[in-house]
């Protein structure tokens, strides 16, 4: 057990170190080159981004400066195109959802229109392009197409809605098909530039599909679809120029086995370059699989990626130069793009923020002196505590005299998209923290919902947090109204040692298994609660219920959305904003440290390891003990059998005479002399 725990701890530590490498790097230029021998036939230059997430404006870098923004990106693009006028520019998806600009996604389509102004040749859908459901995507595509502006091509080879006559087809799917055709979405596009024909196709990943719960699309295997598309390009494209095939993929790279871009690059033949999005991976150098180069340049417009590929007529790669060019404070802003971004910002203020009573994008809500960490380690984070507390506060303010006490409120790391900066905290800063989703009202931002959980379900939620976080950091939960302690050395899904409800006055009471507790969380987190049984292989289950204890249909969670007295949905981000605004003297120092809601108790003490063990743990221990007993019994029988087999081999080597055990034990026959006669044995004599 101790050895296994050490191995597991070392493995998890290694994973954490690897995952932190990009964050630990200085945000300077990353450059690598590989020089080949001899001459080459062609040279291709590709500029790329991915996972922009509506980061039109620079954001703090945590080191006193800032990075990113479309005005800086425009400047960098112009610089590189002066050097490489025939460069191709592509994006690997998730160009939307991540800042207040997403609130005009459906009505103004600022993402694709700005990308068109910056000269992007092509992009692909990411999972967050479906956050506003099919209706939001339909409206966005139509709005962009109707603008009459130059737009990037949208390419997609394996992710479409069902067609008329197919299972699951709806009238809305028909509207989506019309919007896709109106925009001009294709499996691939071709561009002739600098004497080379570039064929660019788009790919969508299984993991991305899993994280798009509101998507109406049907996923088709990425490797199979990519190979079919490459084969189609090579057979369909008629050109006298050399052909260079680029895949812009939203499959992802990294240690997660669901990220399949490495598999695509390795298994698909005839592909030259794969630009990978979705996992926000910063690749310091490309990886070459056969003749396919795989690259990825991070997220949020921190970098502009650039690769110069020198290649031969047979598709073999001669050499490359690779750069990730930072968009820091030293990069000047393109004035024209800056003005356009500010114009969209005004639209956000008029179309969206006014609905919540906020004055503007940069309205200051509170002063903050606390550095909020948003790491991935399983532990209590003050940032998570602050958000969970804000949910309970917002519900209490909205319900007023009709307030029904909220026993617990929770959120998950996966929906926390940013952190609260030090200094003056603005409306836009807070929105960036909880920017995902849309409500039943069609308005940007996930709403808060209420469900009732039994005490047994709550304990299972604690187990999910304690057991799953090390494997999937996005699943880590943050609570208010509770406390629990866990031992990482305990059996999976039985790591929690004890837990208690914490009342508003700070006192603790036992959580009762059969009692119903009112729980407030975001809509997305509520949807994920219903998947616990599947994700835990049926070991754990969490059943959201109504106030009468009746199970809620997971497709009907929107009926549990909370509203204020004017009937407006309570949004996650607005709950946090109103809570921060209530602090007249800044965010309290109590949030500077953990509040004791999660307590890690690392111990190999048997009392800590086996206290409050579950039936599963007890059953596994009994099984292991039974196996050990069987092994011991089997070994003992084997030893006895071997000894029994050895005894008949004790023979007289000269005459072949076999001596009985009694004669050997009597000592009458000792060793033989050189002539073969027996020497009497004189035991006990000197």
155 and 86 together in one domain: yes
What is the C-alpha separation between 64 and 60, in angstroms, rounded? 7
Beta bridge partners of 409: 480, 520
- The total number of residues shown for the chain amounts to 686
Q: Confidence class of residue 417 from pLDDT cuts 50, 70 and 90?
A: confident
| Final residue belonging to a domain, choices 592, 613, 634 | 613
380 and 496 together in one domain: yes
- Predicted local distance difference test score (pLDDT) of residue 164: 94
261 and 374 together in one domain: no
50 and 147 together in one domain: yes
- Predicted local distance difference test score (pLDDT) of residue 577: 97
433 touches 416 (CB < 8 A):
yes
Rg (CA), the chain: 32
Average confidence (pLDDT) over 371-382: 84
CATH number at residue 149: 3.60.21.10
Average confidence (pLDDT) over 80-102: 97
Among left, alpha and beta (phi > 0; psi -120 to 50; other), residue 236 is alpha
What is the C-alpha separation between 370 and 354, in angstroms, rounded? 29
- Report whether pLDDT(184) > 50: yes
CATH number at residue 600: 3.90.780.10
The DSSP result for 95-144, as a single string, is -S-SSGGGGGHHHH-HHHHHHHHTT--EE---GGGGTTHHHHHHHHHHHH
First to last CA, the chain: 53
User: How many domains does the structure of the chain reveal?
Assistant: 3
320 and 417 together in one domain: no
- Predicted local distance difference test score (pLDDT) of residue 647: 65
- Report whether pLDDT(528) > 60: yes
543 and 655 together in one domain: no
251 touches 294 (CB < 8 A):
no
| Final residue belonging to a domain, choices 319, 337, 355 | 337
120 and 172 together in one domain: yes
202 and 110 together in one domain: yes
**pLDDT tens by residue, 562-617:** 999 999 999 999 999 999 999 999 999 999 999 999 999 988 888 778 777 776 66
For 294, 323, 416, 653, the CA distances from 283, given in Å and listed in that order, are 9, 10, 24, 74
Task: Look up the domain containing 562 and give its range.
Answer: 367-613
322 and 420 together in one domain: no
Check residues 191 and 28 and name the one with the higher pLDDT.
Answer: 191
**pLDDT tens by residue, 500-515:** 999 999 999 999 999 9
233 and 304 together in one domain: yes
Q: Confidence class of residue 325 from pLDDT cuts 50, 70 and 90?
A: very high
Three-state SS at 181: helix
549 and 686 together in one domain: no
- Predicted local distance difference test score (pLDDT) of residue 11: 36
452 and 492 together in one domain: yes
């Amino acid at each position: 057990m101790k050895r296994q725990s050490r191995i597991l701890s070392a493995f998890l530590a290694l994973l954490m170190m690897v995952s932190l490498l990009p964050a630990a790097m200085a945000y300077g230029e990353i450059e690598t080159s590989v020089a080949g021998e001899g001459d080459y036939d062609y040279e291709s230059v590709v500029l790329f981004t991915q996972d922009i997430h509506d980061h039109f404006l620079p954001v703090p870098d945590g080191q006193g400066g800032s990075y990113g923004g479309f005005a800086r990106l425009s400047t960098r693009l112009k610089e590189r195109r002066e050097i490489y006028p025939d460069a191709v520019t592509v994006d690997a998806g998730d160009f939307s959802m991540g800042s207040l600009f997403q609130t005009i996604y459906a009505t103004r389509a600022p993402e694709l229109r700005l990308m068109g102004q910056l000269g992007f040749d092509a992009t692909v859908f990411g999972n967050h392009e479906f956050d506003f459901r099919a209706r939001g995507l339909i409206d966005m595509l139509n709005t962009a197409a109707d603008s009459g502006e130059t737009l990037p091509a949208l390419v997609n080879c394996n992710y479409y809605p069902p067609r008329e006559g197919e299972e699951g087809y709806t009238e809305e799917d028909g509207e989506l098909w019309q919007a896709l055709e109106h925009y001009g979405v294709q499996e691939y596009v071709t561009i002739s530039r600098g004497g080379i024909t570039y064929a660019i196709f788009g790919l969508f990943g299984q993991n991305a599909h899993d994280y798009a719960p509101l998507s109406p699309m049907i996923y088709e295997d990425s490797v199979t679809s990519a190979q079919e598309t490459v084969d189609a390009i090579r057979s369909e494209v008629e050109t006298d120029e050399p052909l260079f095939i680029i895949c812009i993929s939203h499959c992802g790279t990294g240690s997660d086995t669901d990220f399949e871009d490495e598999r695509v690059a390795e298994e698909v033949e005839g592909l030259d370059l794969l630009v990978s999005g979705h996992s926000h991976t910063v690749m310091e150098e490309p990886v070459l699989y056969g003749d396919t180069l795989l690259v990825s340049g991070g997220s949020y417009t921190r970098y502009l990626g650039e690769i110069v590929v020198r290649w031969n007529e047979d598709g073999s790669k001669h050499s490359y130069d690779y750069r990730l060019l930072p968009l820091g404070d030293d990069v000047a802003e393109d004035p024209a793009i800056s003005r356009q971004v500010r114009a969209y910002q005004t639209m956000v203020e008029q179309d969206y923020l006014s609905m919540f009573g906020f004055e503007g994008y940069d309205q200051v809500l509170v002063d903050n002196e606390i550095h909020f960490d948003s790491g991935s380690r399983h532990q209590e984070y003050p940032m998570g505590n602050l958000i969970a507390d804000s949910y309970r506060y917002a519900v209490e303010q909205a319900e007023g005299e009709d307030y029904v006490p909220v026993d617990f409120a929770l959120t998950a790391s996966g929906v926390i998209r940013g952190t609260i900066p030090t200094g003056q905290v603005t409306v836009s800063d807070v929105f960036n923290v909880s920017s995902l989703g849309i409500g039943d009202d069609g308005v940007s931002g996930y709403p808060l919902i209420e469900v009732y959980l039994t005490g047994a379900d709550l304990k299972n939620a604690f187990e999910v947090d304690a057991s799953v976080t090390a494997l999937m950091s996005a699943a880590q939960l943050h609570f208010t109204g509770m406390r629990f302690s866990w031992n990482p050395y305990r059996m999976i899904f039985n790591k929690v040692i004890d837990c208690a409800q914490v009342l508003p006055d700070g006192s603790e009471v036992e959580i009762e298994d059969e009692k119903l507790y009112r729980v407030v969380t975001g809509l997305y987190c509520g949807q994920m609660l219903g998947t616990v049984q599947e994700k835990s292989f049926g070991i754990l289950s969490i059943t959201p219920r109504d106030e009468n204890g009746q199970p809620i249909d997971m497709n009907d969670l929107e009926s549990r959305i909370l509203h204020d007295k004017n009937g407006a949905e309570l949004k996650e981000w607005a709950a946090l904003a109103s809570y921060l605004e209530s602090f007249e003297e800044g965010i309290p120092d109590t949030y500077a440290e953990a509040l004791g809601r999660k307590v890690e108790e690392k111990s190999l003490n048997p009392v800590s390891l086996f206290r409050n063990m579950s039936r599963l743990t007890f059953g596994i221990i009994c099984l292991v003990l039974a196996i050990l007993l069987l092994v011991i019994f089997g070994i003992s029988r084997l030893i006895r059998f071997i000894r029994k087999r050895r005894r008949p081999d004790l023979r007289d080597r000269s005459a072949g005479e076999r001596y009985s055990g009694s004669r050997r034990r009597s000592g009458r026959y000792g060793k033989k002399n050189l002539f073969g006669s027996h020497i009497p044995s004189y035991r006990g004599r000197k």
